[in-house]
Amino acid sequence: MFLKFFILAATFLLSCADVERDSLYDSEGINYGGKDLVEAPGKGNDIANYRTVRIGEQVWMAENLDYRVPFSRCYDNIASNCGAYGRLYDWATAMALPAMCNFIVCISQISAKHRGICPEGWHIPSREDWSELLFHVDSENGGDGYYYDEYYAYDSYTAGRYLKANSGWLENGNGEDKYEFSALPGGGGEWNGSDLWDFNYGGRYGVWWSSSEYDDSGVARLSMPYNSEYAYYTNDGKPHLYSVRCLQD
């Protein structure tokens, strides 16, 4: 009886959270007051609109996804930032899962090559997909990195140098862009509960979602900072806003 009550209560609270979040947007998913500008329609999710690049056995988008869907954002709510860095997405939106998945475990709804909002024939990269990319770059350049934990994730001390774009990073943070992957520092966003979104690290950090869920609140994300060549994982909150790169199936 207690368990049944707990489940019902949790469902009610999550439903309230969704209603509260949904109330911030109009019927087209645009912030009231025009903060998420209609003038930034984006490139959509047609792969023909994006550059792609083969690195080892993988084929990647060479640009951040700029697909305008409800709950996606331009950094600082400035339309031109979508053109420069692509759009930012919370995890459930990127994965095309119910908003509730930002707060509960949804692993049963995640497929091996989970398309999410990527173009047809492409998917949100898993932690293992990102690891394969970093390991390949290190293996070709005498780079330094390591596998860790039971998730078989690979962090690199050097791959950022070769994957970061050669322009667009602040404070001399540009890379060599050896593989034309052109990683860009799109930054991130976090809803502060009162004034909608706080944006941070634009121009200084590139952060990309993976499809690999840790628990009810966290997902593996890949980060590249402006002040080092490091490319590394952290376990971050699903409601945050980050960039998306898609990988060919």
Predicted structure pTM score: 0.84
The answer, yes or no, to whether residue 37 has pLDDT greater than 80, is no
* Domain ranges for the chain: 37-248
Q: How many C-beta atoms lie closer than 10 Å to residue 193's C-beta? A: 8
The answer, yes or no, to whether residue 27 has pLDDT greater than 60, is no
Strongest mean pLDDT among 15-29, 175-189, 231-245: 175-189
Rounded mean pLDDT of the chain? 84
Q: Which residue has the higher pLDDT, 35 or 88?
A: 88
pLDDT average, residue stretch 106-113: 94
Distant-in-sequence, close-in-space partners of 219: CB < 8 Å, separation ≥ 6:
91, 209, 210, 211, 212, 213, 235, 236, 238
142-168 pLDDT, tens digit each: 999 998 866 678 999 999 999 999 999
